[in-house]
Homo-oligomer: A and B are copies of this chain.
Amino acid sequence: MSKMNAFYAQSGGVTAVINATACGVIETARKHPNKIANVYAGRNGIIGALTEDMIDTNRESAKVIAGLRHTPGGAFGSARYKLKSFEENRAEYERLIEVFKAHNIGYFFYNGGNDSMDTAHKVSQISRNLGFPVTCLGIPKTVDNDLPVTDNCPGFGSVAKYVAVSTKEAALDVLSMAKTSTKVFVLEVMGRHAGWIAAAGGLAGSGADGEPPHIILFPEIPFRKQAFLKRVRECVKKHDYCVIVVSEGASYANGRFLAEAGTVDAFGHAQLGGVAPVVAQMVRDNLGLKYHYAVADYLQRSARHIASATDVKQAYAVGQAAVRMALAGESAVMPVIKRVSDKPYRWKIEKAPLSRVANKEKMLPRRYISKDGFSITAAGRRYLEPLIRGEDYPPYINGLPNYVTLKSVPVSKRLNSNFVV
């Protein structure tokens, strides 16, 4: 392929390290100016391609691009926007190819989760059908760690580290206060379908009896109220306090989320609440124990200040690998992380066909969850531990991380038509 441009877009919920992947893509592309003239980034993800709203990354200095490695959030904007099937909305795909043609885009790098891998796969097929074949690479990203084939997903290691560190710290606080005040602490973490993030809370302690967190509530394990309350009561009796990590996806056997606890506001409107207050109030109403709760929400997935060095390295590596694979003529594949060994932890990058990754979810295996359903096993610990290893602190100025801001110069439009998404 002669010299062409590349298109890169971020998709779905962002992470503390998705920009490290962008950094890997752009820095690697810049090493091959004879093949990739420029990387155009979609403003707000794939919407930027559909609306011909792209950012000219050649206008960003090497220093700013390097700074993406330590900057959280999605530097170009992301989007929760899933392309429909080709049958349902052929116009979207045709528009993508029209924009790619107009801007001489021969490479499509799509950085996201399951949905995005499906999109990348479809674009690959359709571009061939429409006579403008584009090299399409998926690049994995998700805090949920639920992509198949890859051993883990960039983004997960950092949220896992945040949750483990925060649980450890809050537990020390609660333990200090337990004699005369708070006895139960509940931390709500992300993961609506898979309990990977909640499981990471288990790393806060060694797993020995009495070490926090004392209870983890996974989405994979149906919530049994009486067993839970019994466990809390016993824990407080034995250890004076009880630290609980609960996944936002924790639910009853009938599939109803705990968060949908039937709470209504003063006007009788159903309340969209978190699960932490529901669990905390259950403890208060049934056991009369004083509680505190925290809802980490976006703080957990944007906490670049406590990112896992392993995660940052891997996030960069999948971006770099995607460009290398593309230049080597691969298409419709995604770089995956292959674990070579646990101790010492070794990993390498391999590739997987997008068809094997698209639209599939990897749940937390039952063998990573203890028999009683309230903690992680040694096998789970062995899997999780290496992913939070190492610190990769951003630079600071006046007490705050020095996160970079792009100039975000738009690529001049070449099409007369508007496209409404």
Question: Which of A73-81, A104-112, A191-199, A354-362 forms part of the interface with chain B?
Answer: A73-81
A166 interface neighbour in B170, B175, B262, B303, Cβ under 8 Å: B303
Which chain B residues lie closer than 8 Å to A263 at the CB level?
Answer: 263-266, 271
Q: A172 with B295: in contact, given A47-B180, A393-B393 (CB under 8 Å)?
A: no
Judge whether A6 is part of the interface by a CB distance below 8 angstroms.
no
Known A-B contacts A44-B180, A203-B400; A170 and B298 likewise in contact (beta carbons under 8 Å): yes
Complex-state Cα separation, A73 to B388, whole angstroms? 23
A294 surroundings in chain B (CB, below 8 A): 295-299
A255 contacts which chain B residues (CB < 8 A)? none
Beta-carbon contacts of A378-389 to B below 8 Å, as 1s and 0s?
000000010011
Residue in B81, B181, B274, B296 whose CB lies within 8 Å of A299? B296
Question: Shortest CB–CB separation between residue A23 and chain B, in angstroms?
Answer: 15
Chain B residues near A296: list those with CB within 8 A.
294, 299
Query: Do residues B298 and A269 form an inter-chain contact, with CB atoms below 8 A?
Result: no
Give A187 to B174 CA distance when docked, in angstroms: 21
- Given A305-B165, A399-B388, A176–B299 Cβ distance below 8 Å? no
Q: Mark A14-55, 1 if CB is under 8 A from B, else 0.
A: 101000000000000000000000000000110100000000
Contact A266 B277 (CB under 8 A): no
Q: Could you say which residues of chain B place their CB within 8 Å of the CB of A295?
A: 274, 276, 293-295, 297
Contact in complex: A13, B385 (CB < 8 Å): no
Within 8 A of B (CB), among A292-310: 292-299, 301-306, 308, 310
User: Cβ of B271 and Cβ of A281 under 8 Å apart?
Assistant: yes
In the docked arrangement, what's the CA distance between A165 and B307, Å?
Answer: 13
Q: Measured between alpha carbons, how far is A166 from B310 in the docked complex, in Å?
A: 22
Q: What are 21 residue pairs bridging A and B, where the CB atoms are less than 8 Å apart in the complex?
A: A10-B176, A71-B172, A72-B173, A74-B176, A77-B179, A79-B180, A80-B180, A164-B399, A165-B400, A166-B299, A166-B303, A168-B403, A169-B303, A169-B401, A170-B297, A170-B302, A182-B298, A261-B265, A273-B277, A385-B398, A388-B399
8 pairs of A and B residues whose beta carbons are closest in the complex: A73-B172, A74-B176, A262-B266, A388-B399, A294-B297, A169-B302, A44-B179, A173-B302
